[in-house]
Amino acid sequence: MASDKENIRTTAVDVDLTLSTDESSNSDDSLEEQKDCDENAHTYNVHKIVDALLNNTASLDTVCYGTPTGIEHNCTFLVDQTKLKRAADLRADDSGSWKNNGVRCVIVAVREGNISILVRGKDVKSATMVQGQYRLTRTYFIHHACPDFRKIIFTLCDHNGKTINLAMVQYYFTGNEHPIYKPPHGNSKSSTPYKHTQPSTMERMKELSGQLGPVATVEAIDKETGDIVGQKSSGSRLRNTQQVCNIRRQLKMKQGGDCQLAKAMELCKTGMSGSGQDFVRFVQAAPEPMCILATD
């Protein structure tokens, strides 16, 4: 495995993270953990997850420097979030559309190598953490087209709210593995599979769309990400120029720049202020838009 950090590694973690029989028989925490695992047989042991994220108990060669993409197997990845443009890019994995199926959190204490669960469930939200305590967040996803295909993203933050560099992403099937069907976007007229555009790409699109046209925006982003051949994920590339047109329209509406009624109302206000520009005398929005124009 190459060690060059410019190469995006997507090696699955080859380490046993599941709850063992011995661990589940000696502590109340483990018994509670076993209850979690009973609800979802694929859920990992909280203690071992925290240990892996804090201490990187897996080999450094298995840490990914980019989002794992196109996964269709039971596997787990450790991802260095500092190598991502945005942590949210971890969700754009070229695997189609996912439905968020909830979030579960626990607060753990780490002391002299020992990890214990302090708070779980609804009490986590109101709990105050001190040094040596961490909040483990498990975000669950179900694949829209193949509901038996699941994903869990594990992240950890300290008592100051700072997110630990490593995150863990687990993919699994509730039954047997099989190819994943990736339908097109709901509004698309083509058969091209839907892909989730990375949030960092969307942010960059918003920045450029105010200065460039749709085609130029797409070309600029392609150039920045290395064109098609050099791109690490299809999510780093815009789907088409329509995405740019849509976001430009949304931004204009927020700013009132694409709303003729808003412009008329602004002109009416200007006239009422005594500026002498009182051509627009009255503007009505409902039940039907109406504007009265008059000169003295």
Give the burial string for 260-274 (b: 16+ CB within 10 Å, else e).
eeeebbebbeebeee
- Confidence class for position 152, pLDDT limits 50, 70, 90: very high
**For the chain, what percent of residues have pLDDT higher than 70?**
70
Q: How far is CA 281 from CA 135, 261, 275, 288, 292, in A?
A: 59, 13, 13, 17, 6
Q: What is the mean pLDDT of residues 155-160?
A: 93
CA dist 138 and 187 (Å) reads: 31
Which pLDDT does position 4 carry in this prediction?
Answer: 38
Say how far residue 251 (Cα) sits from the centre of its chain: 21
The whole-model pTM stands at 0.67
Q: How far is CA 266 from CA 206, 240, 256, 271, in A?
A: 26, 35, 10, 9
CA dist 280 and 264 (Å) reads: 7
- By residue count, the chain amounts to 296
pLDDT single digits (tens) 45-99:
888 889 888 887 555 567 888 888 888 889 888 899 888 888 888 888 888 889 9
Give the angle 90-129-105 at the CA atoms, nearest 5°. 40
218 or 257, greater pLDDT: 218
The answer to whether the Cα torsion of 197, 70, 60, 138 is positive or negative is: positive
pLDDT single digits (tens) 23-34:
333 344 444 444
